[in-house]
Structure 1
């Protein structure tokens, strides 16, 4: 028996066990038949709808401009120390293939007035959602007091900044689909300006930030902004631990303890690029159904139990080198022919093993070669360590940009 046969059979056994616990399933579906004979139907791998009419865009929304406000509601967000008013906005945005979709964002504004010169600054804080289910998105977790990164939001609110937390994975929960994420973040900021009652006009200086999965959204928004949303008043973007290039991650996260998080990212990307489903074998299609509503706290530990390589979910030889895979890897790679025109601060761990620093360094080199203003700082430690140790430098950099202090010209680095 070959090693591949063992992996495939083991994968099937693992999926069968998980199937017994998985759900919920769509009403009217035949989950047993779909599991035994899974069709190449992306709809079976879509997240279960929340059943809240508020998230349903009105008819004809597709004809509105990106950033158009489609719905609003007041919400309570917490736990927070700073007194705030919070508003959720459903807005029109654009997916990875330039199709109109609706997404949600939460705008959190301190009740204390902004007394310094100019309009109140805004931080677009992009959480590392890293999940596949609708109940994992910030618009759902923030009002329920279970958002994992609420402490990071509080740090910015304590400075009297407004904070915008967007469901940057879009309506399909397309984890790791950078174009979708970048569009959503930028259109959320447009929607913010388009709702005057928030008191955040177009003149408000805006900084974007995020770590890990949140860095995907931040970096993509920065490089898409010059063409997609040039009117958004960005003054800078700071992000760390960014997964830049999935070709690199195929070598660092595939078939090991990080494999289920990597597979979840592949499933998220497939929701934006459904041509990927034709590359999946039965086990790949089963996994897409089973994991469709899972949040990161269920996805991340799975690799410790079942370090499934992506190749086990396809019967196509060298599946990652097929024309479909090559094009999607190219489409989801940060950098290339896209370059931000506002300053950027990148930080990364020197001992990163799941998300090697090679990606951040290559991105820095490309952006600098194209004339961007970039500061790269590399710190001792791996992903979780640098998530904390990188905060002082990145937050000071953000404070300076929001205060109107210009970023130094050109590029510079520390620790490389």
Structure 2
């Protein structure tokens, strides 16, 4: 059954910041509403879901609001359950690609990546976990801006814990892939200073764009040229000097195309910009433009790895990834380890970018489940032929396929969390919960 059409964020008063919100603490909840979740906006899902508007901040510490979508197994009591902050690969600046819109039943958008990632969220719900899905790009669509996704994700966790009345020691995990993996490592990097009170047990970042500047250059002229185009469009919102230089250096034709990119969902964007090469549209060529001091400063700022996360981290990556260069990811892992971080790094020889995201779903959940039980990580680099050849992951993939089947047919997801929860989490079930 098709749900009633829901308004896009620009037409929805829920997203508007009220007067005086700046005085609130980061993570404070401003508005709450229950929502219905729909696979591809059409197939209703038997889950409990709410949206929270909360106070957070941007790159420069200026107060702003953001929305997170909080999901729980249908009818489940929330206390005593681990909380997963799942960062979707939004990879767009168009507001209809925000998870808070794209995941709702009645959303009308073609090509928004969060809709494709909903089964991964469903797999976490079947573990009995709570899931927070933040709009980590912000309502202004600042895709690619550093550190901001971390602030928004962590403040979404604060908002979720406060709204549901969870215990302060409630375990929290982070996860995401590709653009969501990049948002996850930003959250892991800033967490130690920004949200030290959170009980973060670990983070999993799949293919997390280890060097965005290098990726921007490499993808020009390829079928994935839409990614650097929208990346630049997002960065221009946060760096006024970059915006001025881009506008001055680009041909009017390409500048107009960038403006149109702000209205496109991810998959139509990739189709529109396929094989487009900005070298032909920018004065002196792209490499020369990126080498100018003002632009080079921005490129350095958007590269993760300066701060080593204080929580354990798993990074997994396809060796022959056609979008993200494995050498960039290896460099990120090396920077983290040099700073003292505990990092497991898993390389997959047969995987490609998109297939590895879904093949790696059981890996992501199993690795985080091990952290919830207090298991230590090895901190090694391993290269495997395929993640799917691992016996434990293969079992998880069969369960994941069953999850997808239930979601496609609108059947309730199975809540296996009560029996599987570690004892130290089950003990929290005696705590009262806010309504």
What TM-score, normalized to structure 1? 0.81
1:172 aligns with 2:140: yes
1:54 aligns with 2:54: no
Q: How much has 1:314 moved relative to structure 2?
A: 4.9
Report the counterpart of residue 352 of structure 2 in structure 1.
Answer: 382
1:84 aligns with 2:47: yes
Correspondent of 2:177 among 196, 201, 211: 211
SS at match of 1:358: helix
Report the counterpart of residue 395 of structure 2 in structure 1.
Answer: none
Question: How far apart, CA to CA, are the structure 2 residues paired with 1:157 and 1:78?
Answer: 15
Structure 2's unaligned 5+ residue stretches are: 1-7, 108-114, 385-435
Question: How far apart, CA to CA, are the structure 1 residues paired with 2:338 and 2:56?
Answer: 30
Structure 1's unaligned 5+ residue stretches are: 1-47
Q: How much has 1:261 moved relative to structure 2?
A: 1.7
- On the 8 A contact 1:279/1:315 being kept in 2, the answer is no
Question: How far apart, CA to CA, are the structure 1 residues paired with 2:94 and 2:11?
Answer: 13
Correspondent of 1:160 among 128, 136, 148: 128
Distance 1:111 1:274, change over 3 A: same
1:349 aligns with 2:310: no
Correspondent of 1:123 among 71, 81, 84: 84
- On the 8 A contact 2:59/2:145 being kept in 1, the answer is yes
Q: C-alpha offsets along residues 318-344 of structure 1, whole Å, 9 cap, x if unaligned? A: 1101122111111111102x1110100
- On the 8 A contact 1:125/1:210 being kept in 2, the answer is yes
Distance 1:54 1:314, change over 3 A: farther
Question: How far apart, CA to CA, are the structure 2 residues paired with 1:78 and 1:302?
Answer: 27
Report the counterpart of residue 339 of structure 1 in structure 2.
Answer: 308
Report the counterpart of residue 107 of structure 1 in structure 2.
Answer: 70
Alignment map for 1:393-412 (pairs within 5 Å): 393-402=363-372, 404-408=373-377, 411-412=379-380
Alignment map for 1:181-192 (pairs within 5 Å): 181-192=149-160
Q: C-alpha offsets along residues 140-175 of structure 1, whole Å, 9 cap, x if unaligned? A: 111136622111111011111111111000121111
Report the counterpart of residue 23 of structure 2 in structure 1.
Answer: 63
- On the 8 A contact 1:124/1:163 being kept in 2, the answer is yes
- On the 8 A contact 2:48/2:75 being kept in 1, the answer is no
Question: How far apart, CA to CA, are the structure 2 residues paired with 1:54 and 1:369?
Answer: 44
1:323 aligns with 2:314: no
**Count of equivalent residues:** 361
- On the 8 A contact 1:82/1:158 being kept in 2, the answer is no
- On the 8 A contact 1:378/1:415 being kept in 2, the answer is yes
RMSD over aligned CA atoms reads: 2.2
SS at match of 1:239: strand
Distance 1:314 1:51, change over 3 A: farther
Correspondent of 2:338 among 369, 394, 412: 369
